[in-house]
A = this chain, B = another copy of it.
Amino acid sequence: MSIPIKLDTSYLAQEVTPEEVYSWQAHVDFCHEMLHTRSGAGSDFLGWVEPKIMMPAAEVDRISQVAARLRAGSDVLVVIGIGGSYLGARAVIEAIGGPDKDRIIFAGQNISAHYHKELLSKLEGKRIAINIISKSGTTTEPAIAFRLLRNYLEEKAGKEKAAKLIAATTDAKKGALRNLAVEQGYETFVVPDDVGGRYSVLSAVGLLPIAYAGIDIKALLESAAKCAEELKTADLKANPAYYYAVLRNLLYNKGKGIEILASFEPRLHYITEWWKQLFGESEGKENIGIFPASVDFTTDLHSMGQWIQEGRRSIFETFIDIEGGEPDLIIPNELNDADGLNYLAGKQVHEVNQEAYRATALAHREGGVPNSSIVLPKLDEETLGAMLYFFEKACAISGYLLRVNPFNQPGVEAYKGHMFALLGKPGFEKQTEEIKKRLQIG
């Protein structure tokens, strides 16, 4: 493989052998065919399969230019979006960094009065730009945040200048936000019709904030596209994303209902959050699905470690291991060695972290937790772009193997309907009466 990712499955033995995985080849061929001929469930949402077609070079250039313009005109970019409209960007920005990463604030992901008050007071005195990301423009959380922040920006900068500092990423043609953007003259980008939120990180949805941070979005996309080519084979011996999809299904069938994604790098925290949405929303339906959980090690070895080591044997674990590329930092020697740490003196901190990873993977395997590792040589645009695509492709095939539609999310409407009814949204009058009866309130 020429993708910069290795899948290490040596600690799966006993529960899952390579022969078992390979025995699924015919199933995988079938699912692969469905995906690539667009004949399976959810086939209207496969725009992500070809990153370069989803994002033509000219559009990538335009994103870079607008990001540069916004950066020049602001101290802070407030990215307003929820779910797939922020998780990918946040994951990439926290993982790779970029010279302007600390100038980005994510908002519109909750309805906490406390959060919004703090946010407004934190922005005081700063020149802000806004990237509002919403396909419809009417999703409650981002709509509330956008009202508050647009008011704030227009008060500070005036309506006309404010319009130049707002970029809207929204539906190509219709919807509340598209209409507003046209009316106000905002710069606009497109949420593709054929890409669901959780698969949208490499579209304008993710790329504009990522570009503002100063990350090389061309390199990110280039690597994803290369990975897409490499993962076009259905052969389980050549496609680690499919291998991962099969081993998850095998373990699930053997009673391992929870998958824990674990990394040893705190800056991968939001990658694990992004992964939880990707797999959870794709597979959790029809009363089935692997429950996706995540931990940040070594931190959480001191909280969830006990459970993982000795709790109910209902779990399997997937590690993300970053082999190198970490900054130099040496553990200093101390004369009296009060803390008994001199045996580590002169060692690189990253070296110690790597041994912690190896020790944990082995201990958990010995404790009855089958685990595998996604190994990256280092953390940068190239490896991360490949990993994002790796997980997307794996998730699509894993969902098909589970026999669900990995591209819909019918269950997210249930609480929304109730909420609109409780809040008295126009059009929900009948439900309002009905729900108030059920809750026995006035």
B148, B327, B353, B438: which contacts A117 (Cβ < 8 A)?
Answer: B327
Residue of chain B at shortest CB distance from A258: B291
Q: Are B309 and A137 in contact (CB under 8 A)?
A: no
A418 surroundings in chain B (CB, below 8 A): 358-360, 362-363
B141, B198, B287: which contacts A312 (Cβ < 8 A)?
Answer: B287
Q: Are B412 and A302 in contact (CB under 8 A)?
A: yes
Q: Are B303 and A415 in contact (CB under 8 A)?
A: no
Q: Are B281 and A306 in contact (CB under 8 A)?
A: yes
A291 surroundings in chain B (CB, below 8 A): 258, 291, 293, 307, 311-312, 314-315
B138, B296, B314: which contacts A340 (Cβ < 8 A)?
Answer: B138
A75 shortest CB reach to chain B, Å: 18
User: Which of the listed residues A117, A180, A313, A329 has the most CB atoms from chain B within 10 Å of its own CB?
Assistant: A329
A326 to B111, CA, bound (A): 11
B82, B258, B266, B366: which contacts A115 (Cβ < 8 A)?
Answer: B266
A83 to B343, CA, bound (A): 24
A344 to B309, CA, bound (A): 48
B180, B267, B311: which contacts A288 (Cβ < 8 A)?
Answer: B311
Q: Is A423 an interface residue (CB 8 A)?
A: yes
A146 surroundings in chain B (CB, below 8 A): 339
B302, B363, B423: which contacts A344 (Cβ < 8 A)?
Answer: B423
Q: Give the interface segment out of A24-32, A45-53, A217-225, A330-338.
A: A330-338
Q: Are A114 and B326 in contact (CB under 8 A)?
A: yes
Question: How many chain-A residues does the 8 Å CB contact rule pick out?
Answer: 119
List A189-228 residues whose CB lies under 8 Å from chain B: 197-198
A66 to B126, CA, bound (A): 36
Q: Is A87 an interface residue (CB 8 A)?
A: yes
Q: Are A177 and B328 in contact (CB under 8 A)?
A: no
Given A151-B332, A314-B291, A411-B309, do A299 and B82 touch, yes or no (CB 8 Å)? yes
Given A113-B329, A291-B293, A327-B117, do A340 and B299 touch, yes or no (CB 8 Å)? no
Q: What is the interface of chain A, defined by CB distance below 8 A to chain B? A: 82-84, 87, 109-117, 137-138, 140-141, 143-144, 146-148, 151, 176-177, 179-180, 183, 197-198, 257-258, 264-267, 273, 276-277, 280-281, 283-289, 291-293, 296-299, 301-315, 326-329, 331-332, 334, 338-341, 343-344, 347-350, 352-353, 355-356, 358-360, 362-364, 366-368, 409-412, 414-419, 421-426, 435, 438-439
Q: A284-B304, A291-B293, A359-B418 are in contact. List 6 more A-B contacts (CB 8 A).
A: A110-B266, A147-B331, A176-B340, A257-B257, A309-B412, A362-B439
